[in-house]
């Protein structure tokens, strides 16, 4: 396994639902990330947390709300999503922020379908 665990692996939700994605890393890393991967498009960085503090929000709509209670856990709370939000949501961690080349360790993602 990768050391980064994401749950659930698959999620189908209606546009009025509220759900949460969970990510846990067992690598002792200090930085955690949320990425969105849509078909045939590059990975899009959504949020970055470093030592539990949010350091980056790439103009993500407020219907996505991240939470990082500690360096090992990261959540993405979802509400009032749109069908175009359907994608693979990937969590990643790294020893520190990627500025010095630290490789990212990814989980296997949550496949989200919004109906």
State the residues that interact with another protein by CB under 8 A.
Answer: 2, 4, 40-43, 45, 90, 92, 98-99, 101, 103-109, 111
Task: Give the nearest distance from C-beta 41 to another protein in angstroms.
Answer: 6
Residue with Cβ nearer another protein (81 or 90): 90
Question: 3-state secondary structure string, the chain?
Answer: CCCEEEECCEEEECCCCEEEEEEEECCCCCEEEEEEECCCCCCEEEEEEECCEEEEECCCCCCEEEEEEECCEEEEEEECCCHHHCEEEEEEEECCCHHHCCCCEECCCEEEEEC
Residue with Cβ nearer another protein (16 or 100): 100
Residue with Cβ nearer another protein (16 or 101): 101
Task: Give the nearest distance from C-beta 14 to another protein in angstroms.
Answer: 24
Task: Give the nearest distance from C-beta 112 to another protein in angstroms.
Answer: 13
Residue with Cβ nearer another protein (16 or 42): 42
Task: Give the nearest distance from C-beta 16 to another protein in angstroms.
Answer: 28
Contacts (Cβ under 8 Å, ≥6 apart) of 106: 2, 4, 35, 90, 91, 92
């Amino acid at each position: 396994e990768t050391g980064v665990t994401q749950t659930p692996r698959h999620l189908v939700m209606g546009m009025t639902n509220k759900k949460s994605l969970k990510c846990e890393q067992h690598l002792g890393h200090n930085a955690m990330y949320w990425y969105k991967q849509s078909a045939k498009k590059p990975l899009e960085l959504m949020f970055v947390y470093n030592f539990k503090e949010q350091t980056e929000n790439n103009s993500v709509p407020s219907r996505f709300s991240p939470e990082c209670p500690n360096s090992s856990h990261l959540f993405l709370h979802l509400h009032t999503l749109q069908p175009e939000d359907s994608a693979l949501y990937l969590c990643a961690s790294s020893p520190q922020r990627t500025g010095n080349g630290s490789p990212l360790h990814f989980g296997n993602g949550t496949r989200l379908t919004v109906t």
